[in-house]
Amino acid sequence: MANLTISVDDEVLKRARIRALQQDTSVNALLRDYLIAYGQAGSAVAALEEFAAIGRESGGSSGDAGRRWTRDELYADRLQ
């Protein structure tokens, strides 16, 4: 695991430490969790964009009016 050095105003760090203690965690854990979420956000967006592109390129369609299925139709294979 890599170490990261950042510069933060003393008062900001003091308030962050107090808040982290109130949440039963540490500033280090908060920053680590934030960076993990931040790093994964781009991959989630890319995955959604890829999924949407696959849908647009596929030949499947529910038609102009939009097909509606009944519950029986959706579960027909399970009822047999």
pLDDT digits (tens, 9 = 90+) for 46-79: 888 888 888 877 766 666 677 777 888 888 888 7
User: Cα dihedral sign for 5, 30, 42, 47?
Assistant: positive
Q: What is the mean pLDDT of residues 3-31?
A: 94
Q: What is the mean pLDDT of residues 7-12?
A: 94
Structural domain contains residue 15: yes
What are the angstrom distances between the C-alpha of 39 and each of 31, 33, 42, 45, 70? 12, 10, 6, 11, 41
Structural domain contains residue 78: no
Give the highest mean pLDDT range of 23-27, 37-41, 56-60. Answer: 23-27
Q: Distance between CA atoms of 45 and 50, rounded to whole angstroms?
A: 9
Q: Are the beta carbons of 35 and 26 closer than 8 angstroms?
A: no
Domain limits for position 40: 11-56
Structural domain contains residue 42: yes
Q: What is the mean pLDDT of residues 18-29?
A: 95
Structural domain contains residue 24: yes
For the chain, what is the domain count? Answer: 1
Mean model confidence pLDDT for the chain: 85
Structural domain contains residue 6: no
3-state secondary structure of 5: coil
